[in-house]
Structure 1
């Protein structure tokens, strides 16, 4: 997440938490008048349409008052789905041993896209076993986007 998404996350987290949901992460897709702000939520019993509606209504009220994004955008609230996005190091720690696909902001060994198995997580670093069997260390602040690869 970038600085703007982090700001929105900090702004909305108390409201969404008070509703009984976890705000996993925020994505802002700036595309002019078609821009979107996505909120990913979860709960112990899973997420349904009514949950998304409730969070959307409350989040809209906070965003309208605080106005952290000056541009026009559509608000989307979603469950994480099978290809769950991972935003924070603690999210990776919950899925050690699982496959993940991700993109880094700055190339690592000339490459920006990676896929592998989460091996270890510490304060700031994520260790991934890639296809060759090699373990690579990634600074979590360099990870632009990451999703679990579902076992289908």
Structure 2
């Protein structure tokens, strides 16, 4: 995940994340057009929802730490975007799937190639392995490797 992307930035973020009792969901550095954006997604552990006040406090602390850093961990101009991953958060890393399984959350998976006639399935994770998962939908249960998944998100259910 973020480890390989920018260790210098993580060295600044991780102590703040730990002190605030937060969970780093994802870290991305994106270039869209001429604008570079550092996207930091944070939440609370144990399936709790982070508040706007907590995001505001975290953002202030990160801005202060970046201003005081002796070397800029992200060279050049960039926009800092700190947010919650949201209810329909993307599942990318294996631990994201474990998090969804622990919370008994339904997920929606879009596949690169159709699986049993469909390119998208929604269900719960019945089993999780190092290479993939077993998805249990209302219709059936089947094994999925992580390589087959084009995109996966938590399925928002009301």
TM above 0.5: yes
Q: 1:134 to 1:84 in 2, by over 3 A?
A: same
Unaligned runs of 5+ in 1: none
Which secondary structure does the structure 1 equivalent of 2:89 belong to?
Answer: coil
Whole-Å Cα distance in 2 between the matches of residues 27 and 144 of structure 1?
18
Deviation at 1:23, TM superposition (A): 1.4
RMSD across aligned C-alpha pairs, in angstroms? 3.5
Which residue matches 1:101? 108
Q: Find the partner of 1:54 among 53, 57, 60.
A: 57
Q: Work out which of the two has the higher radius of gyration on C-alpha atoms and give 1 or 2.
A: 2
Q: 1:109 to 1:84 in 2, by over 3 A?
A: closer
TM-score normalised according to structure 2 size: 0.67
| Matched positions, count | 147
Q: What is the correspondence of 1:9-20 to structure 2 with a 5 Å cutoff?
A: 9=10, 11-20=12-21
Which residue matches 1:34? 35
Q: 1:148 to 1:56 in 2, by over 3 A?
A: same
Unaligned runs of 5+ in 2: none
TM-score normalised according to structure 1 size: 0.69
Q: 1:143 to 1:11 in 2, by over 3 A?
A: farther
Cα deviation digits, residues 93-134 of structure 1 (max 9, x gap): 232253323567xx5679xx7443223223453333478735
